[in-house]
Structure 1
């Protein structure tokens, strides 16, 4: 899979860009702040409907413009069986974005998910190891959607239920405080209904995460070995991925939807008093975490800087290998990541990804791009994108 052409209108710093792209490696070279990352961010947005840099769409639209358009021609497969698709997303902050496939309007933006698959490496990936549980939940959920786009709907359903349930708990909590001051009893008749909705949507998401971690475990261990290998050829570290659920350690976690739905329903009843006191949902996948371990110790707080980088890279490489099993390489995006790595990890990562169908790299100077990733060079300076001779 590769992007053969990228078009931008009023995206980030660009009023307009028309950029042909090739298979293999393309390196975008230029000083910081010149717009290199904006280009690969646009590619990633088409694949995920989100940015790896910001949580909201507003910063993606050029100052003074009302909307931005990202368009790409995506080619899957090889000749003579290659299939091309034209993807387009119109980003309008404050309104519903609009998407098109082969110029035909999609009923929902998420209908374009799955046409283009990407795996992105960035300095922000260190948060997968050192950051909050939300960073690791996002990693799992984005990979779920990349593997099976229907999970975009599952996530949306869960978030909608959670929002409604939280609103009800907040209202009930306020009513309970008022009751202590002499007001009436709050109406909790609909909370059981939302408990059922939460259990149904949450069990689907939780089961999928458990299945995903099971698939990732051997791939992450192998990738870590490859990235962190010493001169002796082995890292000698036991790598583990475990799932920490808000259901508690006494609940057996198995990817069985009915079992998990029942466990979530029981937990909601058990936590009812605490949730009403705090006015927020305390159980469900939104409270879970993926625990990364090096040997007997959790990576967070115990791994060195180099070990943390190796673990973060291993998670991305495992994503890449998992998506490859679906047929065709996803597009690999490496956003200024080599400047963050020591020479050994830089070399090993470059060797591991060099054979992908398409690799898009950003770097401040040519020397930051390893020799194994030699290919087409695109210079980016003062908002001008120019393919080098």
Structure 2
């Protein structure tokens, strides 16, 4: 799978941009702040319905514009599709495939798949658990687009349950629980446990698939530096793996935590409280791995993601956003050699010399809102 043409309207710094693309390597080169990352960010948005740089859509719309449009021609084998996303901050976004409106933007998920390497990846190792949960869940959705609906259901139920718990906590602080009906909490527990069990099952399956691939990738990047260990740390402890057993495990944990949750006014059990513990040897990478080791670990996770998606069909677009400037010479060359065979590789760099020679291919100069072939 590869993108053959990218078109932007009022996206970030671009009033308009038309960028033809092909298989192999394409590098966008130009000084910082000129819009290189905006181009690959748009491709990533088509794959995830989100940005790796900001949490909301508002910053993605050019200042003074009401909406932004991302449009891409995508080819997979002999099949070509046109995907269009209209970003409307404060209102519902819209999506079309081959000019036909889609019921929901998430209906386009799975047409474009990407694996992104970016300076922000260091947070996978050094950051808080939310970074690692996001990594797992975005990869889960790339593998199975229907999981976008499960994630949405879980977030909706969690929000409703937290609202009820917050109300209970406030009532308790202002004269006790008399008159407060908590009978609906049992229903929300069941909904949360059902969606949570599905999400947990997918995460556990993903981690099992990633472990050998990540360990192999780390050995390729830093020979003799491993082994890696990926361990899931649930907020509802137990040994369950089937969906029904995970459902029962979550229900039991919610029941046990209910008193504390009512006191604090927040849900304390569920996938939103879990973590992926990354170990290097016998020690957790966070707090113990050096800067270089942390970078190799983050890169290994991305390379493992790529190999997993590639093995399952529909090879993803590889996006390397200003990552080579962050790496020492050895890691730079090793990473370049590993990604060079990809069907489509999009690279951004401040200067041409930051792009390793093995990544030869098309070049675009990006400056002042223009994208010109070199």
TM surpasses 0.5:
yes
Q: Which runs of 4+ in 1 moved over 6 A?
A: none
Question: Partner of 1:89 in structure 2?
Answer: 85
- SS where residue 175 of structure 2 aligns? helix
Aligned residue in 2 for 1:161? 157
| 1:185 Cα deviation from its structure 2 partner | 4.1
Residues 57-136 of structure 1 aligned to structure 2 (within 5 Å): 57-77=57-77, 82-136=78-132
* SS at 1:137 equivalent: helix
Alignment equivalent of 1:303, drawn from 265, 268, 289: 289
Q: Is structure 2 residue 190 aligned with structure 1 residue 205? A: no
The aligned counterpart of 1:245 is: 234
Structure 1 contact 175–185 (Cα < 8 Å) conserved: no
Partner SS for 1:373: coil
Query: What secondary structure does 1:187 align onto?
Result: coil
**Residues in 2 aligned to 1:238 and 1:6: alpha-carbon distance in whole angstroms:** 40
Q: Which moved more, 1:319-328 or 1:358-367?
A: 319-328
Secondary structure, in 3 states, of the residue corresponding to 1:371? coil
Shift of 1:184: 3.0
Contact map agreement 1:176 1:185 (CA 8 A) in 2: no
- TM-score between the two structures when normalised by the length of structure 2: 0.99
2:213 equivalent to 1:226: no
Q: Distance in 2 between matches of 1:253 and 1:290?
A: 17
- Cα deviation 1:217-260 (Å, max 9, x = unaligned): 0000001111112xxxxx24221000000013xx1142x01101
Q: Following TM superposition, by how much is the alpha carbon of 1:384 offset from its aligned partner in structure 2, in angstroms?
A: 1.1
Corresponding residue of 1:20: 20
2:218/2:225 contact within 8 Å kept: no
Residues 334-361 of structure 1: CA distance to partner in whole angstroms, max 9, x if unpaired? 0000000000000000000001011000
Long gaps (5+) in structure 1: 230-234
> Residues of 1 paired with 2:235 and 2:196: CA distance?
11
CA RMSD of aligned residues (A): 0.9
Partner of 1:281: 267
1:290 aligns with 2:276: yes
User: Which SS does the other structure have where 2:51 is aligned?
Assistant: coil
Alpha-carbon distance in structure 1 between the residues aligned to 2:334 and 2:104: 40
Q: Distance in 2 between matches of 1:2 and 1:192?
A: 47
Q: Which residue of 2 aligns with 1:214?
A: 208
Kept after mapping to 1: 8 A contact 2:234/2:275: yes
Q: How many residues align?
A: 374
Contact 2:215 2:226 in 1 (8 A): no
* Contact 2:240–2:249 (8 Å) recurs in 1: no
Which of 147, 157, 164 is matched with 2:143 structurally? 147
Measured in 2, the distance between the counterparts of 1:189 and 1:112 equals 39
Work out whether residues 318 and 342 of structure 2, in 8 Å CA contact, stay in contact via their aligned partners in 1: yes
CA distance in 2, matches of 1:253, 1:345: 39
Please, what TM-score do these two structures have when normalized by structure 1?
Answer: 0.95
Query: How far, CA to CA, are the matches of 2:76 and 2:300 in structure 1?
Result: 25
Match of 2:340 among 342, 354, 363: 354
Q: Match for residue 29 of structure 1?
A: 29
